[in-house]
Every structure is written in C-alpha cells, then in structure tokens.
Amino acid sequence: MFNKRIKIKQLLSQEPDSQEVTVMGWVRSFRNNQFIALNDGSTNNNLQIVAELGKFNEALLKRITTSVSLKVTGLAIPSLGKGQKLEVKANTIEILGDSDAEKYPLQPKKHSLEFLREIAHLRFRTNTFGAVFRVRHALAYAVHHFFNDKGFVYLHTPVITASDAEGAGEMFRVTTLPAGNPPRTEDGSINYKEDFFGRATNLTVSGQLEGELGATALGEIYTFGPTFRAENSNTPRHLAEFWMIEPEMAFCDLEDNINLAEEFIKYIIRYAIEHNREDLEFLAQRLADEEKQLPQDKRSELGLLEKLDFVLNNNFERITYTQAIAILLQSPAYKKKKFQYEVKWGIDMQSEHERYLVEKHFKKPVIVTDYPLGIKAFYMRQNDDGKTVAAMDILAPGIGEIVGGSQREERLDKLEQRMKEMHVPAEELWWYLDTRRFGTVPHAGFGLGFERMVQFVTGMSNIRDAIAFPRTPGSAEF
C-alpha cells in the first residue's frame, strides 16, 4: 500500500499531532546514528526522522546512507531541534533500495553546476535542481491556466514538418533513408520521393505557420511544445531542443499582441511566486552565494525575488527599433568603442546591444518594435513606411531576447510579393496562403522560449540548467 504515504510537503505544513504517518523518500544525511534527513521531492525541506537509540538493529542502521530509499512509519511529534516544528519518531524503518555510499556520486557538499550536468540523471536529487524543476512545472501549469482562462484553444502543431520555408533556423532532417547509400535522382541529389513521407522532412523550428491556420478559424490558439534548431551556437541561451509557447490571435494587431505578451509574462511569474515561494527563496539565496564570487560590478543590483517583483510592478519599456539604434549611437559604450559589432540602422542587433539597452540604459524589460524589413521573416506585416515591419521582440535583463513576435501580413498581394523577394517558395506554402485567400483577417502572435523564461525566473545563468536533459551541439546524453 504505497498510497497511504503522506508527502513531506504536506506533513510539514501540519501541526504535530502525534498521529502515526507513513513517509517515503531518499536519505539526504544520517547523523549520530539517530537523525535521518529524508527528502521525497515534494519540497526542498527534509523531514527529520528520529531513530531512537537502541530501538533498531545495527545491521539496518549501517545500511542507511545518503540516497538510500526508505519507508518509515512513526509518530508526527513536535521537534526539539532547530529549523523544524515537526519530526517523525520512527516505529518502523524499511529499506526500499540500498545504495553504495562509496559509489554514489552526489556527496552532501556543494557540487559545481558543470559537474551536475554530467550526472543529469541524478541532479534532480540536489536542492538546486529540485527547486528548478518544481518552478519549471509551476510555470508550465501557469501557461495553460493563463490561456485557458482567456478562452484560447491549445493546438498541437506537428513535430515533423515538410515546410522548410520559415527561415527561423537550421533544421534537423527526419529520414528513414539509409545514411550511407541513399537513393539518388538523375542529377545525383538524394531522392526524397523514396523517403518515408515521399518528400524531405524536418523537425519543426516553430509551430507558427500551422498556428495561424488554427487561429484563423478558432480565433485564438496557443501551442506549447518542443522545437528544434540545429544552430551550432554554443551559448548559455541556445539549445538544440527547446520548448516554445506560441499564441496566435485573429483580430489582433501589434499593440494587442504586445499587451498580451506583457500580461502573460507577468501572470506566469506571479503564479510561480505565489505557488513556489520557498523554492524561489532557495534559488535567490543560491544566486546570491554564486554572485559573491564575482567582482562587485558584475553582481546583480537586485536579488532574484526583488528582480521578479520589480518586473511585476513596472511597465515594460516600449521603443521602436529606430529609437533603439539612436540610443545605442548616443551611448557612452558606443563612443568608447566598447561594442564589438557595428551599430547602424539596419543591423540585426547583437546580444551586446540588447544587453546594453536592457541592463545599462533602461534597467528593465524592453519591447522593441518595428524592425527593418530586411532582417525579419517574410510573414511579418509591412508598415506603411515601406522600410519596417510590425515586429516586436521582448528583451529581458540577463537573458536577452525572450519573446519574438509580430503582426502577420494578412494582405495576399503584399505577402506574395515579399515571398518572391525573399525566395520563399509560394507553391509549397499554398495552404498557408489559403488563409489569406478565404476570409483573411488581421492577426498576430508571438513565441516565448520556455527555457529562457525558466532561466529568468530561477536565476540559472546557463540554459542547460533550465531543462532536464539539455541537447546541445556534441551532447545528447541521457
């Protein structure tokens, strides 16, 4: 009977009433042959189990080492020890699974995040990753909560796609053709007609195009699923497999889109603060300790929780791309030649530029709108100036771009003209263009990278620590 157990989180929230309880979990530490710190993943707080001296046989006690799994029954009594109001005085202790203390890689001491990445299968058992993944869960739950309350339909867009016209990033090919000796056409190229789907297919880089098909009938949809980009960029902000949330709304312009994105980000942060306060307090302390190693000028001005509160209580700054470039050109950083990359109207802003705007100039999240036509995707709505499109990026302190979105080009002639200019094959996207042929409407949407959001809320500086099993160039263990 496993379902008689009480989770430690729940037990610790109760008054000690001397009733018998059953708990299960993994041993974090065992002191003085008497005090077991038990953790079951429901909270970072360990439950103290007291094994009264003389009550249990020595052979059993010897087997209780870090990471051994236990079933314990006992009385929930007031604790005399510091830091907890309740402990369990054990009546029975059953070992569910032994563990070889010599071989167990996680010792009760501080391990580096790099080391923990190498043992990602066990890092859930640390306080840091316990907190990160509970917060990640809360954020994911809040995403569904937010959109459900607004009447959006959760649409599952395909993971395997044949459209390679989105231009969002390099794709991973999906094929069942023999790697060494694929069938060839007469001109020597690989003959995908003989492939599984009868054509070349890839893992999706974004569900947006399919999302638009849903939105232009269901009204408002969102996706929340894995996306894949074979970008060979080894940065602390890029994964080859990441989760993206992509709402798409009919009857919506750029401003509505921005308002929704800001409301959405604040909602999910607030949800995590309200439901995972203890985990966030732990992560805030972890970050503060980590930053103590840094020189003064590299440390954050605000602690993690203050930063989140600040984001909740202030409007995001809204500027156009043209204004952003003007600010950069006026900046001391530019004048002192601190930027590595060129600054002029028309550039795709580099992360150093985005960070300057967010971290040095405005010191808060910034929404940049109306980017040059030439650096953005074909489906973004052309502005009347003939030079810019109704695009928006949201930049967050410490992270950079967290959201990318736009109002979509709903005018068939403009869209077709842009596709021609950008060599996007219109024949392949006939289904996409049909939305503009049969009752087209103004519509807009955005994509939020979920791991970047998790990074922002948990304060983890490397995106590899915001997802359970990171996929990055050269690394797909576990």
Six token digits for residue 309:
């509160």
Cβ count near 32 (within 10 Å)? 7
Type of residue found at 208: Q
Rounded CA separation 155/384 (Å): 32
- State in angstroms the smallest separation of the CB of 21 from ligand ATP: 42
CB closer to ligand ATP, 214 vs 445? 445
250/467 with CB nearer ligand ATP: 467
C-beta of 76 vs 403, nearer to ligand ATP: 403
The nearest distance, CB 402 to ligand ATP, in angstroms, is 5
Question: Least CB distance from residue 241 to ligand ATP, whole Å?
Answer: 8
- Cα separation, 165 vs 167, in Å, equals 6
d(CA 388, CA 346): 10
Closer CB to ligand ATP, 304 or 448, in the complex: 448
DSSP letters, 202-238, are EE-S-SHHHHHHHHHHHSEEEEEEEEE-------TT-
CB of 252 to ligand ATP, least distance (A): 18
Rule CB under 6 A: which residues touch ligand ATP?
A: 168-169, 229, 231, 238-239, 242, 244, 401-404, 447-449, 451-452
Which residues fall within 8 angstroms of residue 32, CB to CB, at 6 or more apart? none
Of residues 169 and 219, the one with the C-beta less far from ligand ATP: 169
CA separation for the pair 469, 121 (Å, rounded):
8
Cβ at position 467, least distance to ligand ATP in Å: 9
- 74 or 397: CB nearest ligand ATP: 397
Q: What's 112's DSSP letter? A: -
CB 227, CB 452: distance < 8 Å = no
Instruction: Give the count of beta carbons closer than 10 Å to the beta carbon of residue 72.
Output: 22
**Under a CB-based contact definition with an 8 Å cutoff, are residues 242 and 447 in contact?**
no
Nearest approach in angstroms of CB 452 to ligand ATP is 4
**CB of 134: closest distance to ligand ATP in angstroms?**
21
- φ, ψ (nearest 5 deg) of residue 61: -60, -35
3-class DSSP assignment, residue 193:
helix
Q: Which is nearer to ligand ATP, 88 or 403 (CB)?
A: 403
